[in-house]
Structure 1
């Protein structure tokens, strides 16, 4: 037999990241195709009744029913578990599908959750509006203050939900410190790692139990899919999966295939994105029209030392404030020629949003204040374009402010 047909010949732990994303899912299925097949089927045939019973009773079976799993899901999950250093992973139809499914799987009426004052807006709405309706108490804490987490812990605290860097303010959470606080109390810690990517940050290595991604962002990398990923232990994955199949946030086989394709180039895209974003952040700090720049890779970031300690790169997103107010910020964003004025982040092309304009329609004024979003805030997701072209475009747009 050809040795390369023997799955055991490939030791994934010995592979570097660039090789892992290309070969980490080899031989997960029985396919002999070089490019992975797309299994566009809702259901799979069992050979006999005993095999059917086995398929129906196996959590996340890849060949029973696509709401439960699919061979392309299985490929993505294998690579993501290796990237995040967890026992396993599972996929969902969106990042919020992953977050909502995880939270609802782990808490019940009478439980208590600790979350941050700064979260992605839809996560914030789950904490502010959904969980209290179901009898779950939520305490929001300032994520930069580890003592605030410690003081919020109660006997009925079941989950701590963190996000670092936080969207859109790029405030950081000390992951190792939060995990250390939670461990003696048996509290599960879940981290939204979307803004970092597994290339720049591995929360599980720092003690986090569940790592969640909106795979729509860096992991897909081309703004052509929506997906979510949950990376965790086999035990927690099974608990979450039972809620997942009831909620039904299913990733289509085509989107799973697009995600798998995106993962192949994740390390090399992140290398360019990290370099571009740091260079553009440094450039923005020198511009007189810019009031302040928020980027973890800058020495001026108040948590720069923490960023260097728990991150290996600082990501695509730069937040900055334009001098003046709402109108001046609108003029700047409208004057940019290269990045589309569009939501999302982490793709090959840069994107820009006037943060207050994006969120004011879905968040109350109080939620905006709590999230720390002023009227002159810009969120710029840097892509893989040439840095000199990005600088030139930003410079010309600043001249209209």
Structure 2
């Protein structure tokens, strides 16, 4: 049989049917599982059998969700978490030891930055940052203690794009583990493993769910690394709930359709903002004016749902813009069917210093728009009236 396409796998990858021959996968709301006899119980806990033992370790619903994402990303294995940040923390905690060193892009989510600078140093784990426009500096930062090379692409919130092929080559040359946060792209638009990534992290809360309903995270990649992540996580307990896994597995069936619409709307909005007299700049990966446009079209199918721009007039003008919004939601989430406007400097990246924010392109006037699935005319009309 010929290899099935992305959209088909998203719909047709599912658990074996039960004796009831259900068409839609049922919920498995159970914390534990029963055993046939004493030997079955012993062998199961000894991992001599591949079966469910306890839902903190695995559950049929989480297993289906993981299998779908692995197929989408071209990964060997994965583990699902209760949130995106649980995935980030648990992945690093499973792989790093005291004395290890991480090289990371400076343009990362604020909570991930807080892990690197406020918590990991307590365990003698250090981090060095490279700027998005200075990938050549990565090799200068690598030391004998460096274990992980980490990046988001596109980045949060400025939607800069890193060349994953270049990062993959550097990781291979220096025997580093390359971890990519692929949340902004989703596995539909980009598969970092093709370019040399060993692990890929997602916040399932965003495009994977797509409707702002559940929290989730997932890490997928090579089987040997995921085994370490699994063994740490089955003990520390950040597992995804069966119900949320079931919701996400259903959501993945429509991922391609939804993301196509997100991208179409986002590109039209970016093109409109690019010519607006009250906008200093606009960034969207598939705009020809984007600094890394050539890289984006090389490794992404489309530009994603996030548009970043700067309102002229600084903080005051930015506040007036947000106060004038009527249709779009003021929220810190993204990847929702509902369009969302966010002020990164005072919300998602507020824990960074002013200097750190400015160094990654986050000014007081920066606006992040998660472009939703409403009609593009209505989205643009709201932003147009808010800009005045």
Shorter-normalised TM range: over 0.9
- In the alignment, structure 2 segments of 5+ residues that lack a partner are none
Q: 1:306 to 1:344 in 2, by over 3 A?
A: same
Q: Assess, with a 3 A threshold, how the Cα gap between structure 1 residues 52 and 159 changes in structure 2: closer, same or farther.
A: same
Change (3 A) 1:288 1:149: same
Give the TM-score normalised by the residue count of structure 2.
Answer: 0.96
| Structure 1 counterpart of 2:224, from 223, 231, 235 | 235
The answer on whether the counterparts of 1:62 and 1:68 sit within 8 Å (CA) in structure 2 is no
**Residues of 2 paired with 1:59 and 1:268: CA distance?**
41
SS at match of 2:297: helix
User: What is residue 23 of structure 1 aligned with on the other side?
Assistant: 12
Provide the C-alpha distance between the structure 2 equivalents of 1:191 and 1:355, rounded to a whole number of angstroms.
Answer: 21
Q: Secondary structure at the match of 1:345?
A: coil
How many Å apart are 1:368 and its aligned residue? 2.6
Match of 1:382 among 368, 371, 379: 371
Q: Deviations over 1:248-279 (max 9, x none)?
A: 11211111111111111000001111111001
* 2:17 and 2:25 in contact (8 A); partners too: no
Q: RMSD across aligned C-alpha pairs, in angstroms?
A: 1.8
- The secondary structure found in structure 1 opposite 2:186 is coil
Unaligned runs of 5+ in 1: 1-10
- 1:184 is aligned, of 161, 173, 178, to 173
Partner Cα separation in structure 2 for residue 395 and residue 323 of structure 1: 14
CA distance 1:60–1:38, change in 2 (3 Å): farther
Contact 2:266 2:371 in 1 (8 A): yes
In structure 2, what is the equivalent of residue 3 of structure 1?
none
* In 2, Cα distance between equivalents of 1:302 and 1:76: 35
Task: Tell me, yes or no, if structure 1 residue 223 matches structure 2 residue 212.
Answer: yes
8 A contact 2:279–2:309 mirrored in 1:
yes
Distance between the aligned counterparts of 2:251 and 2:139, measured in 1?
Answer: 39
* Conserved? CA contact 1:29–1:71, under 8 Å: no
Is it true that 1:283 corresponds to 2:283 in the alignment? no
In the alignment, what sits opposite 1:273? 262
Instruction: Please state how far the C-alpha of 1:61 moved relative to its aligned partner.
Output: 5.8
Matched residue count: 388
CA contact (8 A) 1:119 1:167 kept: yes
Residue equivalent to 1:137: 126
Deviation at 1:28, TM superposition (A): 8.2
Cα distance change on mapping 1:231 and 1:141 into 2, 3 Å: same
Partner residue, 2:29: 40
Alignment partners' CA distance in 2, 1:197 and 1:309: 16
Deviations 1:129-152 (A, max 9, x none): 111111112111113322111211
State the 1:369 CA deviation: 3.4
Instruction: Give the whole-Å Cα distance in 1 for the aligned partners of 2:377 and 2:277.
Output: 19
The correspondence for 2:113, drawn from 116, 124, 136, is: 124
Q: Structure 1 residue 370: deviation in Å?
A: 3.9
Tell me what 2:156 maps to: 167
- Whether the 8 Å contact between 2:82 and 2:215 is mirrored in structure 1 is yes
The answer to which of 38-47 and 54-63 deviates more is 54-63
Q: 1:36 to 1:107 in 2, by over 3 A?
A: same
